[in-house]
Amino acid sequence: MTGHVFGDESKRCDFVLVAGAVLPDSLTGARQQIQALYLPGQRGIHMVKERAGRQRSILRAVAALEVEVTVYMAVKGSYKTEHMARQRCIEELVTDIARRGHSHLCLERDDSAAADDRRTIRRQLQQVGYRDQLSYSHNKVASEPLLVIPDAIAWAWPQRGWRKECADVVKEVREV
């Protein structure tokens, strides 16, 4: 599956990095479906800012997309710092991207982590021999609607009551 991968994290309990892969032929339609969820004047969707009813609708819309989601989970206490947990999850994500032959990675922009993310991505791409095959970027949801995929799943997954709403779209959970 050569696709575009969109990633975002949750730091609620454990460190969770969610990656959703979308095939190139499905990108335009998926973006249109997500943008159809925007309220008037809304430039992007962040689950923490939405009401419960909208959160449920957004999760159902994400689950209806042609997307393959993997959850990378670093259990709290497994790493000395959140930074170390994040970097380890990104290493696993990049390894999986190379194994699956994906062509692009887009992470939700976190200015405090972007430089370290880029170094980790470059180092891991070099290690797995995939350096020239993957392009990557950090974007905000206002410029990349499909970042709502990992945002929604990362928001729901750590919450037992919401996990069932997205369980069908999550293909794999990897503890790192």
- Distance separating alpha carbons of residues 122 and 126, to the nearest angstrom: 6
pLDDT digits (tens, 9 = 90+) for 25-77: 999 999 999 999 999 999 999 999 999 999 999 999 999 999 999 999 999 89
Give the model's confidence band at 2: pLDDT under 50 very low, under 70 low, under 90 confident, else very high. Answer: confident
Global confidence as pTM: 0.95
**4-175: CATH class:** alpha beta
Residue boundaries of the structural domains of the chain: 4-175
**Residue partners of 21: CB distance under 8 A and separation at least 6:** 1, 3, 4, 5, 6, 67, 68, 69, 70, 100, 102
pLDDT digits (tens, 9 = 90+) for 117-157: 999 999 999 999 999 999 999 999 999 999 999 999 999 99
